[in-house]
Structure 1
């Protein structure tokens, strides 16, 4: 049991107690030994599970109270297999990152002193190779909005004390404050300076220090502030930096910010965890250095749940929390209707269940039906309907229209082709006849240049097969593209 203490600014911290690990590399390092011991899967599930208050007799209470009780469902946390993977990734990033940063290691202390002097003298070169072999790495958690990425990370981090106060280690004086993790939000304008300022302000808020006032000035460039940020991270024993909403990075800021994180990992030994929606795929696919570090260390792609055992388990786990007077059993029809209207997005499942109960209570019917599920979804998910329909269609082109829904299951080249067609269709405002003629002309040029044989047999997903089919029939290329789901019906766009 860790002893809680309070810093001068009122923030809660814990007094360091040291655990001996079976892993030799984890011992003799106070930063690691002060962290919680590693636990098995069953213990992880118990740590993560967050049930809500519920009593069957509450169903008999007045509807005015029950309409408030159903909102307890928004606080429920039901562990799933993917949560165990995320737990392992988070703990691995923090523990492994500290291996090379043992404050009692002579070589590490020598490196800290040398780099500290260079930073003070403003001679530190972030582009120069340093004599420090980091064990820090980066991890990626990418998933649909509403799957609970940030909530899961926060739930896991509640099991790791954020602020640890060291006083003595193995009989030696060790006066040190350790910050095991810190979360920052990606600025919408991709500003490195805004991210750096956010770091200093968060540290001051946590520890009651004045790093912001000490290190920040109008004339100080971002390149000059990065070494100062790294020095502060080393001084407080920062284990992991979490960068949330990474999809907010814009094209002009990606390269610079990724250089920033690579330096933070390589030169200062701080592990970095990126959290974002599928819109951030391209950031990591285009940045080899980050992708290389992530591969094998922590890369979790969290798509919507399929209509399988996992979805049913999740639905069953919340279904018992019913405040309508007549408890409704979970039937196969209800399961299928719930999946169709939510497509396995956990946030939508909970919201649908809450609103169904609200309708059940206010209408006086006091039970749940399939028609009620359809009606609630139609009324409450109006803004989400195009996205839900895109997921349901499994059509890569339709999904690609919503960057936050793209999955890694679809080949990048196919998505690119569809995005190019979408761009072409939206840019041109021509009649069907002119569009068809354009495609046919491009086909003829392609045939002349490549000398394609007429008897070529193309794969089903090859666009050239449609061109070939159009030549052998009276159907236009445009019509074939439309029928095969590569493009949308322009008339439906006009009607919308």
Structure 2
């Protein structure tokens, strides 16, 4: 899109910040993030085939939760921080210095200015979907032609999304970044890298200049937990590369992963400091889950309109353990079976049957979470029994994130490793 500038009181005269869309807040932000397909109670009177097609809309519904709002604010502020060092004059100076370093074979100078944060949450929480909804509020490319009556011919890429290679290969990640830029701007970075058979060291030295010259504000690295499967020091080298990129290119980096990457991020202080940010557990048994459930429950395509009773709501939380992806799939398969079998009712029996037949692969995992959430262990002390909360109890009863769970575990004399292992043990691909 062609740049449209909106004056910024904090960063006057910065075209890269003024070209970003104005920051949204409150109801305006929630409305922009939400996606609620049209629905009418009369849809329940349609033929079964049509209702089964309409039922697939459950997967496209998006109800913003506090996680999404916090993620939007974090991404917007990271973009502001990254672009605060961008001016046409500083860019020309940086490009000259970076080109000279490439010609001489030395590393690019560290310019700082970049920031980073992590988004860590259990599988099925909706991290990638939340990212997609937030990023949809930003243009992927912005074309600058003139600014305040002066020529400014360049492109701006507010964000790029790449996935961590399965083998934590730095070279594979860089080539993926080149492919993303080529697809957006029609450049030939990837072709040139393949043609010249550039080594990883050469690619690393060139990457900062390419990101900076194309005015990339935020690099989102998804599926970061892949580095935990790399044997040896591959994972640490990958994290060190990201830290180097933040310093040399001055761009922001968002690292997205599951709790499996938690320990590796905290192995060294630099990575832990760079990875501070957003950490989320399953949805707590409270208002957040209720909001999501009420939104999804409205989309009933069975002929009988089932009322959401407190008892049914309690069962749904117990069966899904506050994992949004499981909740959506359970409601979908329960309605699908009800329509196909002619039951035409979304009651507890139908939901439980769908859980056992359609979600069998994760049923045992969810049952274990349910048991451990309500379990208490007793340790004899001086002939008496004292109640001690298990790590799972800490997570569920507090309804807080991993950091808070670790603090609670420490106060209760539990090993932090027990909290980590509880998350890692239960992690499955949902």
**TM value normalised by structure 1:** 0.75
| 2:333 corresponds to | 355
> Does the alignment pair 1:310 with 2:288?
yes
User: What residue is the counterpart of 2:123 in the other structure?
Assistant: 145
What residue in structure 2 maps to residue 339 of structure 1? Answer: 317
> For the Cα contact (< 8 Å) 1:397–1:419, is it kept in 2?
no
**Structure 1 SS opposite 2:88:** coil
Kept after mapping to 1: 8 A contact 2:369/2:392: no
Q: For residue 359 of structure 1, report the CA deviation from its aligned partner.
A: 2.0
For the 8 Å contact 1:391–1:399, the answer to whether it is kept is: no
Judged with a 3 Å threshold, the aligned counterparts in structure 2 of structure 1 residues 248 and 160 are, in CA distance, closer, same or farther, namely: same
**Alpha-carbon distance in 1 for matches of 2:169, 2:104:** 23
Q: Does 1:282 align with 2:269?
A: no
Q: Does 1:59 align with 2:44?
A: yes
1:116 aligns with 2:103: no
- The Cα shift of 1:217 comes to 5.1
1:357 deviates by: 1.1
Distance 1:41 1:238, change over 3 A: same
Task: Find 1:35's aligned residue among 16, 20, 28.
Answer: 20
Q: TM-score, normalised by structure 2?
A: 0.86
> Number of aligned pairs?
391
Instruction: Report if the CA contact (8 A) 2:81-2:113 is conserved.
Output: yes
User: CA 1:58 to 1:102, structure 2 compared with 1: closer, same or farther past 3 Å?
Assistant: same
> 1:20 corresponds to which residue?
7
> Residues of 1 paired with 2:113 and 2:297: CA distance?
44
* C-alpha deviation, 1:317, in angstroms: 1.3
Tell me, in whole angstroms, the C-alpha distance in 2 between the residues paired with 1:224 and 1:74.
43
1:292 correspondence with 2:270 = no
| CA-CA distance at 1:272 after TM superposition | 0.4
Q: Deviations over 1:14-34 (max 9, x none)?
A: 0001110222xx221111111
Q: For each residue in 1:147-203, what CA deviation from the matched residue of structure 2 results, as whole angstroms up to 9, or x when unmatched?
A: 110111111111110110000011111100111110111011111111111111121
**Cα contact 1:17–1:34 (8 A) shared by 2:** yes
Write the distance in 1 (CA, Å) between the matches of 2:49 and 2:114: 53
Which residue matches 1:182?
Answer: 160
Q: CA deviation at 1:309?
A: 1.5
2 CA distance for matches of 1:49 and 1:36?
A: 18
The answer on whether the counterparts of 1:29 and 1:104 sit within 8 Å (CA) in structure 2 is: no
Match of residue 149 from structure 2: 171
Matched, 1:125 2:137: no
C-alpha deviation, 1:399, in angstroms: 12
Equivalent position of 1:491 in the other structure: none
Matched residue of 1:16: which SS? Answer: coil
Equivalent residue, structure 1, for 2:242? 261
Q: Which residue of 2 aligns with 1:45?
A: 30
How far 1:398 sits from its partner (Å)? Answer: 11
Q: How does 1:36-435 map to 2 (within 5 A)?
A: 36-105=21-90, 108-119=91-102, 121-126=103-108, 130=110, 132=111, 134-216=112-194, 219-249=197-227, 250-251=230-231, 252-295=233-276, 299-392=277-370, 393-394=372-373, 396=391, 407-408=402-403, 409-410=405-406, 411=409, 414=415, 416=417
Q: Unaligned stretches of 5+ in structure 2?
A: 374-389, 396-400, 423-430
Write the deviation string for residues 209-244 of structure 1: whole angstroms up to 9, x where unpaired: 111122345753212211211111011000010000
CA RMSD of aligned residues (A): 2.3
Contact kept, 8 Å, 1:41 with 1:84, in 2: the verdict is no
Query: What is the rounded CA distance, in whole Å, between the counterparts of 1:57 and 1:385 in structure 2?
Result: 34
Does the Cα contact within 8 Å between 1:337 and 1:373 map onto a contact in 2? no
